[in-house]
Amino acid sequence: MKFSQTLFFLLYVTIVFAQPPIQLIPQPVSVQPQSGVFTLTKSTTIHYNQADGRAVAEMLSQQLNVPTGFGLSAKEGKSGKIQLNLNATPNSQLGGEGYTLDASSKAVVITANRPAGLFYGIQTLTQLLPKEIGSKKVVTATWTLPAVKITDYPRFGWRGIMLDVSRNFFTKTEVKQYIDQLAKLKYNTFHWHLTDDNGWRIEIKSLPKLTEVGAWRVPRAGHFGDRADPKPGEPATSGGFYTQDDIREIVAYAQVRNVTIVPEIDVPGHSMAALAAYPELSCTKAPVTVNPGTPFSEWYGNGTFKMKVENTLNPSDENVYAFLDKVFTEVAALFPNPYIHVGGDECYKGYWANDPGCQALMKQLNIRHVEDLQGYFMSRVEKILTAKGKKLLGWDEILEGGISPGATVMSWRGIKGGIEAAHAGHNVVMTPSTFAYLDYNQGDPTIDPPIYASLRTQKSYSYEPVPDGVDAKYILGGQGNLWTEQIPTLRYAEYMTYPRAWALSEVFWSPKTVKNWPDFVQRMESHFDRADVAQINYSRAIYDPIIRTNIKDGKLQLEMAGEIPGLDMYYTIDDTMPDQFSTKYSQPVNLPDGPITLRVATYRSGKPIGHLITLKRDDLQKRVGRF
């Protein structure tokens, strides 16, 4: 080989292999790296070939202009350096949300059947650009992206995240910000939990007391669930609600980002805020207040519980159904999607059992068990929704007492309810708490504020939404749920959402065959850097060890594992602070007797990376057989 040829070959190898790795979340169906890079400049043109692509093209130009300061504009045409094309003849492989992206040194062409596909294509495009693309101000960067050919389309049609705004209220601006983040991850459903015991958040004009009274509670600090009861005459000043104009604005904002909003009005239980406004709709008709986070129930560890305060609508009272007709009439007019979520979960029936009206209704219906009244209640609610042109969607408890064939089930108590519903021919959204509850602790429970369960990112990533033996046609998709009892701010909502929502986005979008945890970890860490630039909060719990104990030969034994590859765990039990020169964990350790304290620090490549975890002997003893 001549010197000039050798030089050319070395330059070619340098150009091709010096490019940064392609780190996309969720992982596309097919990614084929090519040689070269595309450079974004002030003279880059953005064109769309059909009028339906205009909104997406304009959104792209706005997204690029904030960090680059280039002032790019979108125009109709067919020769843009960034070209957005809608197919004249649909590509059956891509469906309604798929796209292809072909980037070379000369141009980037995104092609789709529908605007939704173009929208998801530009999300991938921005992830190919440097992390500074997420900056909220103009920055100096080399705006290049690697040449690549991508074909992509979703595995599931329902890719959702639920946000609970009852336990803690989030402003209109915050909700839009949260939706915007989800859309960039190719989520297409925002489940909006609008009502519960702790606040009614949606204006119902025909029932003004729902927000005049039900949207407000007495201010309380401290751990939710342990707070003091309201005092007589204490003003209720904490809370808020969305006007119907707010709702329309948020719905329109989401629609532009191809996100469908599914509202939830949680009935017949979880209705304390509604009963604070209209106590006559309960069995006892006793006055109640919007709950500020007091312990108003007793849980017995096996899924059963008792309410200390009534929070359930009376299924035997016709006024309840007149009330719900008014509520759902106004809700249905605000949300254009086919579904209204009606809750149906954790409905305590003790007050029903003691109510003469409920007993008379049971006799009239010829039912022996009070639990069956929920089936009657839900059938009445479904008739109301059907009259509004809506479909009933509820948590898996709606299966108890029977539901119509057209009802859709959201399986949260593990996967059992989803399996049962699918076998009965119901459509199902899989959202089991064991994989998808984003309010659970993400790492060691001694680090984050306490909550009753934990869920690591790796476990969320491992989830398979289609259970064995279930016909996949009944599984609409899946969803992560963020309950907000312990989440008072958007910043902390982000912390709890990410990186687990990154993991779930890949579960719901990407082909099952491309899932690879070590590969995802690399991409996740690149998205940590992107989130830092975009000022989005996230948890770094993946860098903390998993610490377990058991008893072996009468001795307390320590076992530790890393959630991600490449972690080194160093520990001490002699009341010294651990570092990389301390004992390195490699196998289970028998701990000595006595009042020891375990301290563990994680390192990678010789650098500290996780939280310091400190556990006294009593704490270690309590972990036997757990975690």
Q: How far apart are CA 251 and CA 257, in angstroms?
A: 10
Cα of 359 vs its chain's centroid, Å: 40
Q: How far apart are CA 22 and CA 34, in angstroms?
A: 11
Q: Measure the CA dihedral 559/441/343/248, to 10°.
A: -150
DSSP 541: G
Q: How far apart are the first and last CA of the chain?
A: 61
Cite the beta strand spans of 216-319 per DSSP E: 216-217, 238-239, 260-267, 297-299, 305-307
Catalytic-labelled residue, pool 249, 346, 371, 559: 346
Q: How far apart are CA 266 and CA 393, in angstroms?
A: 11
Asked if 475 contacts 422 with a C-beta cutoff of 8 angstroms, the reply is yes
346 catalytic? Reply is yes
CB atoms near residue 466 (< 10 Å): 21
Residue 334's H or E segment, with its range, is helix 318-334
Asked if 482 contacts 167 with a C-beta cutoff of 8 angstroms, the reply is no
Asked if 527 contacts 23 with a C-beta cutoff of 8 angstroms, the reply is yes
Please name which of 534, 536, 524 lies closest in space to residue 134, comparing C-alpha atoms.
534
Joined together, the tokens standing for residue 1 give 């080989």
Q: What is the DSSP string of 157-212?
A: SEEEEEEE-SSS---HHHHHHHHHHHHHTT--EEEEE-EETTEE-B--TTSTHHHH
Active-site residues: which are they?
346
